[in-house]
């Protein structure tokens, strides 16, 4: 199933972003154009996947194929967008970042379990 594959890819991106957050330091200048362009290039495919994932997930939720609320899907997308930026700019406290990361993983894992049933 395509949604299952997208969800697994989503989880891989989430783990890579977490590693980036943990292992890197914030940029010296947050207005550095080169840094911004690097971030944009790296995150554009993630944003595209995220948009497609949300659309497909909401379809599955509306068809009642999974026991997840539409708001969980939307919140997961929003949280992932925050994580993407925090992973590069390292501008969130560690506790907050990990809470967002855990929240996204929780919904993704729940969706994967429901899809396999």
pLDDT digits (tens, 9 = 90+) for 2-27: 999 999 999 999 999 999 999 988 88
Structure tokens at 60: 């599955």
Q: Does the pLDDT of residue 95 top 80, yes or no? A: yes
pLDDT of residue 1: 66
Q: What is the CATH number of domain 2-116?
A: 1.20.120.440
pLDDT level of residue 87 (50, 70, 90 thresholds): very high
Rounded to whole angstroms, the maximal C-alpha distance in the chain is 48
pLDDT mean over 61-71: 90
Q: Does the pLDDT of residue 30 top 90, yes or no? A: no
- Pair 67, 114: CB distance under 8 Å: yes
pTM score of the predicted model: 0.89
């Amino acid at each position: 199933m395509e949604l299952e594959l997208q969800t697994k890819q989503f989880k891989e991106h989430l783990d890579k972003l977490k590693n980036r957050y943990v292992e890197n330091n914030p940029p010296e200048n947050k207005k550095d154009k080169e840094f911004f362009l690097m971030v944009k290039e790296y995150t554009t495919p993630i944003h595209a996947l995220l948009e497609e994932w949300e659309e497909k997930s909401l379809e599955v939720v509306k068809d009642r194929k999974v026991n997840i609320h539409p708001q969980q899907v939307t919140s997961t997308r929003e949280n992932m967008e925050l994580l993407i930026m925090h992973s590069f700019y390292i501008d969130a406290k560690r506790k907050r970042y990990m809470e967002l990361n855990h929240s996204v993983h929780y919904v993704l894992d729940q969706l994967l379990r429901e899809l396999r049933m």
